[in-house]
């Protein structure tokens, strides 16, 4: 099984370690640049791209504004089509439902379509604890699983691996869980893909139960939609006897017509394709065709919490395209593992706090994992204003610590500043003190650098953590008030 994000350190600590991995940075730079270039080409072909973005955002926003009604319609439509609908408040309930269905059919394994929702709830680990093996069939997810690794990208979970590393993983691990890789396996992409096909084929043909997610769920027709590039999803959705789909409640759209802008936005924004090679849709059970027992688990797991946030609710428009990751300068340098979640990058930096709150140090660090450059908003196909949500979540982090028994150094500094600024005499005293400090800093910088050069504002001691990456201008020797008094308002 793959690893777990449980116990991951806060983002600054994890990012510092990732920055020291030169191979990781090379892999990320190459992969993200390639995806960016492909996306730019196919987006440029669409003359009304901005109108399409507005349409996509409108579809998702309209669904969210009347989410309860659309979910009830979806449940009724699915039930009429022969599916069984389950409601799961959290990860534990969803995992228990899937495990119960699997046990009921005497199966000890499931074949899985790539699904962010099942990764979010830790389904593989929960099934393993129940004695059920969950086999990932997406190529990148397979690489992650065989390598006992963690996903680092929404679309390409193994983006941090290069071809040589993948070849080594296949040769070392495939034989332990199924058909072994050929002894003469090379690192050519076509050869690696062929080895994966041979390894997975027996699992496709043997599996009685499959587990999927869904990119979209159409309320009025009870249709679930999965888009993919490899065909593994189509195999899982058609061959097994039983299909269980774990679907986040935010995936619903109202009508079949609403799929139109979404299926034009998603492939261009994700894989840089005009359309997905495989778009699978299904509505319940079709006698004699495909799975004869269909279950749909509608998952909350913090989504109603996010929906209640007036600023952050727009994050639920996300269609998991990963465009924001590919343009993010922070993600490109540290990768996905530093975010400590299956949702990395800019969208993960807002989605994780919205779903889980900011009570723990790791999650509370994520809204600060951004330069606020705005590139993520510019490429988001459903116009999520990620920078605005990041700022709002930073405020939530600050608010969560207002009643701490032991205030942080930052809180103490802000209180001291408020105390000084609230009285003109104290402010005048602080200005005089800053003038003295400015002369000391200037003298220190000139005497501690070779050749008498002035330092660019880097301070020693506790202040080094701030000034190591930022210039701190030395306070002026004379404050504005002092200058005003000395020059009689600039007249002398």
Residue among 460, 458, 453, 455 nearest 470 (CA) = 458
Task: Report the pLDDT value the prediction gives residue 337, as an integer from 0 to 100.
Answer: 95
- Segment 62-72, tens digit of pLDDT: 999 999 999 99
Q: Cα separation of 78 and 201, whole Å?
A: 30
Share of the chain above pLDDT 70, in %: 92
Q: Cα–Cα distance between 333 and 310 in angstroms, integer?
A: 31
Paired tokens of 252: 């619903």
- 454 versus 346: the higher-pLDDT residue is 346
- pLDDT attached to residue 457: 55
Given this model, what pLDDT does residue 466 score?
Answer: 66
Backbone angles phi, psi at 210, to 5 degrees: -120, 150
Query: pTM here?
Result: 0.88
SS3 170: helix
Q: pLDDT at residue 452 above 70?
A: no
- What does the DSSP 8-state code read for residue 130? T
For 288-327, the pLDDT digits (tens) are: 999 999 999 999 999 999 999 999 999 999 999 999 999 9
CA distance 109 to 146: 16
Which runs of E-coded beta strand occur in 121-168? Answer: 133-136
Q: Taking 90 as the threshold, does the pLDDT of residue 435 lie above it? A: no
Specify whether the CB–CB gap between 284 and 222 falls below 8 A. Answer: yes
Token pair for 63 = 């669904």
pLDDT tens digit sequence for 158-192: 999 999 999 999 999 999 999 999 999 999 999 99
State the pLDDT at residue 410. Answer: 80
**Residue 363 near residue 353 (C-beta atoms within 8 A):** yes
Tell me the average pLDDT across 231-255.
97
Q: What is the DSSP string of 308-324?
A: T-TTGGGGGG-----HH
Residue 339 has pLDDT above 90, yes or no: yes
Q: Is 165 exposed, middle or buried (0-12, 13-18, 19+ CB in 10 A)?
A: middle
CATH number of 11-304: 3.40.50.10420
Number of C-beta neighbours around residue 145 at 10 A: 25
Q: Give me 81's structure tokens.
A: 């089509």
Residues 348-376 have a mean pLDDT of 95
Sequence spans of domains, the chain = 11-304, 421-487
Mean pLDDT on 102-117? 97
pLDDT tens digits, one per residue of 369-392? 999 999 999 999 999 999 999 999
223-228 and 216-218 as β-strands: parallel, antiparallel, unpaired? antiparallel
Residue 158: per-residue pLDDT: 92
Mean confidence (pLDDT) of the chain: 92
């Amino acid at each position: 099984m793959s690893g777990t994000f449980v116990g991951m350190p806060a983002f600054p600590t994890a990012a510092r370690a990732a920055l020291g991995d030169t191979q990781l940075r090379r892999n990320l730079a190459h992969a993200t640049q390639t995806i960016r270039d492909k996306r730019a080409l196919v987006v440029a072909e669409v003359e009304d791209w901005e109108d399409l973005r507005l349409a996509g955002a409108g579809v998702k926003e309209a669904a969210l504004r009347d989410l309860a009604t659309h979910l009830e319609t979806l449940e009724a439509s699915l039930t009429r089509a022969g599916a069984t609908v389950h409601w799961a408040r959290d990860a534990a309930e969803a995992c228990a439902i899937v495990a119960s269905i699997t046990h009921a059919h005497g199966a000890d394994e499931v074949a899985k379509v790539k699904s962010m929702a099942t990764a979010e709830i830790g389904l593989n680990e929960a099934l393993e604890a129940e004695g059920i093996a969950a086999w990932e069939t997406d190529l990148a997810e397979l690489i992650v699983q065989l390598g006992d690794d963690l996903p680092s990208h929404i679309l390409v979970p193994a983006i941090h691996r290069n071809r040589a590393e993948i070849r080594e993983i296949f040769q070392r691990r495939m034989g332990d869980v199924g058909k072994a890789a050929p002894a003469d396996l090379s690192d050519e992409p076509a050869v690696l893909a062929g080895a994966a096909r041979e390894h997975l084929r027996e699992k496709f043909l043997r599996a009685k139960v499959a587990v999927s997610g869904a990119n979209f769920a159409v309320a009025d027709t009870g249709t679930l939609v999965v888009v993919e590039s490899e065909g593994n999803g189509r195999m899982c959705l058609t061959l097994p006897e039983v299909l269980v789909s774990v679907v986040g409640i935010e995936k619903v759209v109202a009508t079949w017509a609403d799929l139109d802008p979404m299926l034009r936005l998603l492939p261009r924004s994700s894989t840089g394709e005009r359309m997905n090679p495989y778009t699978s849709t299904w509505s319940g059970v079709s006698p004699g065709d495909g799975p004869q027992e269909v279950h749909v688990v509608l998952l909350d797991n913090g989504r109603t919490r996010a929906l209640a946030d007036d600023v952050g609710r727009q994050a639920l428009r996300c269609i998991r395209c990963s465009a924001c990751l590919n343009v993010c300068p922070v993600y490109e340098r540290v990768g996905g593992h530093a975010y400590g979640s299956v949702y990395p990058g800019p969208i993960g930096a807002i989605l994780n706090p919205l779903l889980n709150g900011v009570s723990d140090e790791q999650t509370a660090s994520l809204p600060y994992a951004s330069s606020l450059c705005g590139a993520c908003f510019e490429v988001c196909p459903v116009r999520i204003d990620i920078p605005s949500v990041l700022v709002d979540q930073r405020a939530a982090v600050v608010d969560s610590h207002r009643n701490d028994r032991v205030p942080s150094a930052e809180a103490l500094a802000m209180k001291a500043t408020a105390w000084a600024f609230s009285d003109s005499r104290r402010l005048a005293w602080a200005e005089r003190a800053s003038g003295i400090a400015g002369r000391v800093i200037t003298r220190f910088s000139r005497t501690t650098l070779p050749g008498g050069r002035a330092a660019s504002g880097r301070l020693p001691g506790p202040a080094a953590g701030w000034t190591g990456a930022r210039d701190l201008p030395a306070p002026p020797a004379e404050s504005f008030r002092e200058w005003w008094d000395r020059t009689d308002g600039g007249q002398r």
